[in-house]
Amino acid sequence: MILVALVLVGLCLGSFVNALVWRTHQQSTAKTNKKRREFSISRGRSMCPHCKHSLAARDLVPVLSWLELRGRCRYCNKSISWQYPVVELSMAVLYCVSYLYWPYEFGWVGALQFIVWLGILVLLMALFVYDLHWMLLPNSLVYTLLGLVGLQTIIGLASGVPDVWFVLNLILGSIALGGVFWLLFQVSGGAWIGGGDVRLGFAIGLLAGSLINSVLLLFIASLLGTVVSLPLILQGKKASHKVPFGPFLITATVIVYLFGASINSWYQGLLFVAVF
Ligand SMILES: [Zn+2]
């Protein structure tokens, strides 16, 4: 029952992510304030990205509308990217996986944190798609994410007597990850990573929750980045195909948030076997 609800909520919020990404980009390229307001996420009806025709309820059913129309707009017949149904389905899957592998107890604190996490996933997914498209992490999305992560941290801290070491570790994790990116940004003059990655680094470092998790996050992101970029490098496409780092960081964040504790205990177990 909960899973069915999560699939439905995930599909709808996936649809929201698509609109959020598109509107944020339209706003960033809008020349006048009037145009900018027109594309505000809080106003106006959903519209076709090509002909700007406002969409009716039957055009807005996640995945199904896209399938029914075979990926074309009902009004102008231009093709609508497969990104739309893929993002919607991915959100539904992420919500279910988060519920099934939720690392905390489902008391009232755990349930509250779970709800905030669902919101955090909306922003992570939006940043993922945005970075993939335009190689940019917009401040409006990163700061909203930072706000939600802050809220998540406060709920966690307020739920028990915060241990000094725990808080220190939390701050250290965020500073370490953001700091590493800041350093890379300074050294390369913004060539290796962008300023958005630095700000994202602080947010996801805080979300990772500890120094060891931040190190794990960076390791997983680099590993994913290498695996995906390697074929491009081997084909000599690296120069023309710059690969954004954000999507790897975001994927690693979700993995560490949900599975960080299990991964850490797993390789500590390996270390133990190796030593004795
Ligand atoms: Zn259209």
- Bridge partners (DSSP) of residue 47 are 54
pLDDT tens digits, one per residue of 189-244: 888 888 899 999 999 999 999 999 999 999 999 999 999 888 877 776 655 457 78
Asked whether the beta carbons of 65 and 41 are under 8 A apart, the reply is no
- CA 47 – CA 59 distance, rounded (Å): 10
Asked whether the beta carbons of 20 and 46 are under 8 A apart, the reply is no
CA 66–ligand 1 middle distance (angstroms): 13
pLDDT tens digits, one per residue of 31-82: 888 888 888 877 767 889 899 899 998 988 999 999 999 999 999 999 999 9
For the chain, the domains span 1-100, 136-276
CA 94–ligand 1 middle distance (angstroms): 29
- CA 84 – CA 73 distance, rounded (Å): 12
| Angle, CA 48 vertex, CA 88 and CA 13 arms, to 5° | 25
CA 14–ligand 1 middle distance (angstroms): 20
Alpha helices in the chain (DSSP H): 2-29, 33-38, 64-68, 83-100, 108-134, 139-158, 164-188, 195-208, 211-234, 246-275
- CA 102 – CA 96 distance, rounded (Å): 10
CA 55–ligand 1 middle distance (angstroms): 9
